[in-house]
Amino acid sequence: MNRGKPVQPDTDLHLQIATALTGLVKQIKALRYYPPRHPALHATAAECLKGFQPLLQEGHPLNLTVRKEGFLLGEQPVAKTHQVLGQLATFCFARRIQFLTILPDLSAADLLRFVRNLILDPQEIHAQGGIQAVLERARITTIWVNEQDLAAILERKKQLEELPPEEEPTPPQGEPSAKPLTPAQAQALDLEKLLNLLEQEQDDQRFRAQLQELIPLLRLNLIPENRVLVLRAMRLLCLNASARKLSEVRRAHALNALGQLVTDEMTDYLVAALLDRESNEAVRKALIDVLVFLSDKMVRRLMVLLAEESAAPNRKVLADVLVRTGAAAVPVLQEHLFDDRWYVVRNAVAILGDIRSQDSLPHLTPLLDHKDIRVRRETIRALTKIGGQRAVNILLQAAESDDQELSRQALLSLGAIRAASAIPTLLKLIEQPELNRRAVDIKKDAIRALGEIRSSDAVAPLLKILARHSLLRRALNDELRVVAAMALGEIGDENARAALEKASHDRSSPVARAAGQALMQLEKDNP
């Protein structure tokens, strides 16, 4: 195979070279995805070797020139429009590779070692004396860079091959060999060793290189037995991503790693550990910290898990994690307000209420007309928790709703948050005639709300109700008088004292008792 003569582009030879170099790209991706001992790495290296073998079968080396924009064979570009090869060339050029020589006895082992060292950070390669020095220390003898003299290459290759092999340590005489590790044990050991390095690493670039090993290794350790190690790794990444004392570069590396790791599988793994009854309190606390730090990335999956969870205590734990996420979770929660499942909507409403998201008020308002009463109730509770004048205005609308249960809950909520702006509406409600049981119940709730708000503007209307007698609907009227007396006691206005003293002797014993209790409250508030 003559590579010294000019070759026309797009020949079969160029296509074969493009195929072989694409195999190198696949090997790079595999090394970044799989941990060091994974069998898939060797399979990818063997496949990559098959791509080079047709180019080397005549016993001649393959010589390529590396430019920033692509590879050259002689003077001709190789697959000039091939985007992936362009990226590989840029990658190699950044590591100061200008010439690449591949010998006919190329092995899969050398390919794997070559790519493993090629993906080191360029600064790290430079610190170790350059790419060729790195390759020689790795005992790679069939791939050479930046040396065009074949005789010099073969001489140096001979010297490397004559070096004594690097021996594995053997156990002392008389001691039995260690029992072989299972794949899971080996992966855990690799992870623990890597974590020890990461926790001590001071150099940002080496830290980044170690993270590239951590990501695939962590994915393979998502088993219950390795929970402590996985949690340790995730906490380490979260700490490095958020610690202000660390450099921006280091924080960015950690955030990038977390972005690659936060998948549905990882979310499920961490949540399963959190909900496991065998997890101790310290582990649970650490898991919650990690989930809260990452939950803006996990919130969609957390909502799915919340919807699927049947145990109420577990639902509370998941909801608490989402609440602690705060504003970052709000957009996703708002999307779930349109779900067809009432319980999913209720969950989202409850969490928005606990987050106290003012921005969610326009999205919550339509849910007051939701077909399921449980959603309508939760919406009132959420509005109450969120508070503020906008929430009060929505509650006031609900208070005048034809939905009696919703109306009564809204009235009680207005009282609970002491919404002074609700007083005019509440006064209007207590002045309406009691045409039926429903009207009486609404009026009683409005009176209770006025009592909780403790406005002096309500004293005169309440005194009027307390003094009123009715022969036709005495029982209903007395119910209103009882509630009015209790509300006057809560307001604590001295102007109500005389009326309460008189009512404490009323012929209706419930009214008399309520007035007596109100007087005691009045004495307590005005000693």
> Which of 103, 104, 167, 90 has its CA nearest to residue 135?
103
Of 268, 256, 248, nearest to 214 by C-alpha is: 256
Does 4 have pLDDT greater than 50?
Answer: no
What are the structural domain ranges in the chain?
12-162, 454-527
Q: How do residues 364-398 score in pLDDT, each as one tens digit?
A: 999 998 999 999 999 999 999 998 889 998 998 88
> For residue 392, what are its two tokens?
């009060």
Output the pLDDT for position 345.
95
Distances (CA, A) of 9 to 25, 68, 88, 174: 21, 19, 19, 65
Q: What is the DSSP letter of 72?
A: E
Burial of 83 (0-12, 13-18, 19+ CB in 10 A): exposed
CA distance 411 to 415: 6
Q: What is the pLDDT of residues 428-458, one digit of tens each?
A: 888 888 767 888 888 888 899 888 888 888 8
414 contact partners, CB below 8 Å, separation of at least 6: 392, 395, 396, 399, 422, 426, 449, 453
pLDDT per residue over 480-492, tens digit each?
Answer: 899 989 989 888 8
Nearest to 68 by CA among 48, 43, 87, 46: 87
**Tokens 């949690």, residue?**
231
Q: Report strand pairing: 76-77 vs 62-67.
A: unpaired
Query: What are the backbone dihedrals phi and psi of residue 76, each rounded to the nearest 5 degrees, phi first?
Result: -100, 135
If phi over 0 gives left and psi between -120 and 50 gives alpha, with beta otherwise, what is residue 246?
beta
Question: How far apart, in Å, are the Cα atoms of 62 and each of 55, 56, 99, 152?
Answer: 7, 7, 10, 16
Tens digit of each residue's pLDDT (9 = 90 or more) over 209-250: 889 888 888 888 888 888 888 899 999 999 999 888 889 999
Looking at the chain, the whole-number percentage of residues with pLDDT higher than 90 is: 30
Secondary structure class of 268 (helix, strand, coil): helix
DSSP state of 309: -
Decide if 334 contacts 375 (C-beta within 8 A): no
Show Cβ contacts of residue 440 under 8 Å, excluding neighbours closer than 6 positions: 434, 476, 479, 480
* DSSP per position, 196-235: HHHHH---HHHHHHHHHHHHHHHHHT-SGGGHHHHHHHHH
Q: Band the pLDDT of 101: cuts 50, 70, 90.
A: very high
The radius of gyration of the chain's CA atoms, rounded to the nearest angstrom, is 38
Task: Compute the Cα dihedral for 32, 34, 38, 42 and give only its sign.
Answer: negative
What CATH number matches the domain at 454-527, 3.40.50.2300, 3.40.190.10, 3.30.930.10, 1.25.10.10?
1.25.10.10
3-state secondary structure 451-499: HHHCCHHHHHHHHHHHHCCCCCCHHHHHHHHHHHHHHHHHHCCHHHHHH
Measured between its terminal Cα atoms, the distance across the chain in Å is 110
Task: Tell me what pLDDT residue 433 has.
Answer: 80
Give the pLDDT score at 217. 86
Q: What percent of the chain has pLDDT over 70?
A: 92
pLDDT mean over 195-206: 87
pLDDT digit string, tens, across residues 323-335: 998 888 999 999 9
Q: In angstroms, rounded to a whole number, what is the distance separating the alpha carbons of residues 437 and 127?
A: 87
Selection from 457, 463, 483, 474 nearest residue 508 by Cα: 474
pLDDT for res 181: 57
In angstroms, rounded to a whole number, what is the distance separating the alpha carbons of residues 217 and 196?
Answer: 14
Report d(CA 489, CA 454) in Å as an integer. 9
Q: Where are the beta strands (DSSP E) in 309-446?
A: none
**Cβ contacts of residue 230 below 8 Å, gap of 6+?**
218, 221, 222, 269
**H or E element in which residue 289 lies:** helix 281-308
Query: What amino acid occupies position 202?
Result: Q
C-alpha pair distances (Å), 319 with each of 292, 295, 302, 376: 11, 11, 9, 19
**pLDDT tens across 105-146, in order?**
999 999 999 998 888 878 778 878 889 988 988 889 999 999
CB 477 within 8 A of CB 462: no
**Whole-Å CA distances, 102 to 6, 60, 269:** 20, 9, 44
pLDDT at 6: 45
Q: How far is CA 482 from the centre of its chain?
A: 53
The DSSP symbol for 375 reads H
- Averaged over 166-187, what is the pLDDT? 54
* Whether the Cβ atoms of residue 499 and residue 511 lie closer than 8 Å to each other: no
The letter for the amino acid at 280 is N
